């Protein structure tokens, strides 16, 4: 949770402070060469702010050891994986977005595995997993 939160926070800050670098990493053209009516920078600012906030939420949830939040992230990160991957496959997004989808899918798998493993370990010690 903390690793994902930290990455989301850093990506959000990067998008706000160096949008061209973030767009290049995702496979999009530099905003300087876009048409005047193109609102990519506006959308990137909103997305980056959301990423910064999400990063903070994840870091706070990790610090509080909020297991219910951890469980909720698994299906939603799998959904994000599916949407970004489908966007690349359909041609609606550049291949750089595939990395985002894979990151989300891997994060969901690792989180789900950790929750299952922790639940089994707690069960062996005779405590309940109420999260």
pLDDT in tens, 15-41: 999 988 888 887 777 666 777 788 888
Q: 81 versus 40: which is more confidently predicted?
A: 81
Tell me what percent of the residues of the chain surpass a pLDDT of 90. Answer: 60
Helix (H) or strand (E) segment spanning residue 120: helix 96-124
What's the CA gap between 108 and 102, in Å, rounded?
10
**pTM score of the predicted model:** 0.75
Q: What pLDDT was estimated at residue 70? A: 93
Q: What pLDDT was estimated at residue 95? A: 87
Of 39-43, 97-101, 110-114, 125-129, which gets the smallest average pLDDT? 125-129
- Give the three-class secondary structure for 50: helix
DSSP 55-119: HHHHHHHHHHT-HHHHHHHHHHHHHHHHHHHHHHHHTSS-THHHHHHHHHHHHHHHHHHHHHHHH
Q: What pLDDT was estimated at residue 36? A: 76
Q: What pLDDT was estimated at residue 42? A: 84
């Amino acid at each position: 949770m903390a690793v994902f939160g930290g990455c989301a926070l850093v990506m959000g800050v990067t998008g706000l402070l160096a949008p061209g670098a973030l767009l290049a990493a995702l496979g999009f053209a530099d905003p300087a060469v876009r048409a005047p009516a193109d609102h990519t920078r506006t959308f990137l600012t909103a997305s980056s702010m959301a990423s910064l906030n999400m990063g903070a939420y994840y870091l706070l949830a990790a610090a509080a050891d909020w297991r219910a939040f951890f469980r909720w992230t698994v299906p939603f990160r799998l959904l994000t994986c599916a949407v970004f991957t489908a966007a690349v496959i359909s041609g609606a997004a550049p291949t750089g977005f595939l990395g985002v989808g894979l990151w989300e899918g891997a994060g969901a798998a690792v989180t789900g595995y950790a929750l299952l493993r922790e639940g089994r370990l707690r069960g062996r010690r005779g405590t309940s997993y109420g999260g």
